[in-house]
A = this chain, B = another copy of it.
Amino acid sequence: MIKLGKLTDYAIAVMGQLVHEAADSPAHDKEGAMSSSAHYLASRTGIPEPTIAKVLKMLAKGGLVTSMRGAAGGYRLAKPADQISIGEIIAVMDGPIAIVGCVEEDKEHCNMWETCPTKENWGRVNDAIKSALDGVKLQDMLSTPACGNVPDFTKDVDADCA
């Protein structure tokens, strides 16, 4: 089954939680908006802390969240939730969206790139998938922190998942 990695599911769950946090923040919309620590987010989402820390680091490196170090540091969304697409999140977590390995970036591994007539078709397929994923925004995925992915440990997480 063509599917996303678990870390990607976690990422969407975590970012969803960050949306909640931003909305609840008193300094909402302001520059000095609150940030949430990995520890806190772990407790809210039920995802184990070491794992969620890894996910957050990846998201930070990908520019989807901004981080602040030191005590009282943490993470917050880099952009409003309706400007972050699912496609972006997947790209950061799973790498570029390309259904086949035979893609522009590593054409040197393909001994017949120049003459291969199928690459345009794969390109069209990839583009179609990409726009499908870019059309759905994080905002659309909201209301619940960890649905759509499934780990069992979400069970005891929270009640606003409905």
How far apart sit A140 and B121, CA to CA, in the bound complex (Å)? 7
Contact of A3 among B86, B98, B154 (CB under 8 A): B98
Given the interface pairs A4-B100, A102-B149, A149-B101, the reply to whether A144 lies near B125 with Cβ below 8 Å is no
Contact A143 B117 (CB under 8 A): yes
State the copy count for this chain.
Answer: 2
The verdict on A132 contacting chain B, using a C-beta distance below 8 Å, is: yes
Contact of A4 among B97, B99, B136, B154 (CB under 8 A): B99
Contact B149 A111 (CB under 8 A): no
Contact of A110 among B121, B140, B150 (CB under 8 A): B150
Contact B2 A109 (CB under 8 A): no
The verdict on A34 contacting chain B, using a C-beta distance below 8 Å, is: no
- Which chain B residue has the least Cβ–Cβ distance from A126? B132
Q: Which one of A21-29, A60-68, A88-96 contacts B? A: A88-96
